[in-house]
């Protein structure tokens, strides 16, 4: 089974065969909506990160319960979709990006399954799966979609967007993208030894670009809606090869 985070309409019965909502008990509380079924012949668990009605802010998403639930369902890899802002002129809204690194600027999130008496010191020099990334890049190229790869995403706490000074600071650090949800998802998946790769859907230029209006939620949602069919197509087309790589008999 392959885990998919973000929703993005992938739980739509029109593209998912045998769609069924599931609920699991976790030591970390209630997880968000999970729908299991088959997409393009592959068993999947699709998790709506922000809840069935987008009720969770980036800071209040039950990340630990979500990742644990996908692990408990037997997901051998996780593909996540996340809106992001671009910090580089050449990374245009409407394109995809597949980061290989993140910088963590969150402040309020429990990022580890560490418990009293059991400290997890997880190496995370390579936080994302190069194998998953390679499959997604290859499929994106075959489909003719604009994308960048080997990028660095900075994850901020949210739910507010950046100040201009913050945006310029992240640009000076060499960051390419900015979002609100990759941390702690990537960290928790790493602790559970589950390969994870995020597809960043570029929606805006944050607030650094002089001749462009600063990012708004309306702008983000507009681009996300326009790109929803593309990300569905990308994930659906990539799933058979991902399944072959990560579910070897």
Q: CA end-to-end span of the chain, whole Å? A: 13
- Name the burial class of residue 219, with classes exposed (0-12), middle (13-18) and buried (19+) by CB atoms within 10 angstroms of its CB: middle
Region of 212 (left: φ > 0; alpha: ψ -120 to 50; beta: rest) is beta
Catalytic residue among 110, 146, 206, 211: 206
Query: Which of the following is catalytic: 12, 104, 110, 204?
Result: 204
The CA-atom distances, in angstroms, between 84 and each of 10, 118, 132, 157, 239 are: 19, 34, 19, 13, 23
Active site annotation includes 204: yes
Where residue 21 falls (left for φ over 0; alpha for ψ -120 to 50; beta otherwise) is beta
**206 noted as active-site residue:** yes
Known catalytic residues are 204, 206
């Amino acid at each position: 089974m392959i885990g998919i985070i973000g929703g993005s309409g992938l739980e739509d019965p029109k593209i998912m065969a045998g769609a069924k909502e599931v609920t699991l008990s976790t030591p970390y509380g209630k997880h968000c909506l999970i729908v299991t079924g088959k997409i393009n012949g592959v068993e999947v668990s699709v998790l709506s990160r922000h809840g069935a009605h987008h009720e969770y802010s980036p800071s209040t998403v039950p990340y630990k319960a979500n990742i644990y639930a996908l692990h408990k369902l037997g997901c051998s890899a996780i593909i996540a979709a996340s809106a992001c802002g671009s910090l580089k002129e050449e990374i245009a809204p409407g394109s995809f990006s597949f980061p290989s690194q993140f910088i963590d600027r969150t402040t309020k999130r429990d990022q580890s399954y560490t418990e009293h008496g059991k400290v997890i010191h997880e190496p995370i020099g390579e936080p994302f799966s190069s194998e998953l990334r390679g499959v997604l890049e290859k499929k994106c190229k075959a489909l003719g979609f604009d994308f960048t790869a080997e990028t660095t995403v900075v994850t901020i706490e949210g739910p507010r967007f950046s100040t201009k000074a913050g945006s310029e600071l992240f640009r000076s650090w060499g960051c390419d993208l900015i979002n609100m949800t990759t941390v702690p998802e990537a960290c928790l998946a790493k602790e559970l030894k589950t390969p994870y790769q995020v597809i960043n859907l570029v929606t805006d230029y944050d607030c650094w670009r002089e001749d462009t209006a600063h990012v708004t939620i309306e702008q983000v949602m507009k681009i996300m809606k326009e790109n929803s069919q593309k990300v569905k197509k990308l994930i659906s087309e990539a799933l058979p090869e991902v399944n072959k790589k990560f579910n070897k008999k």
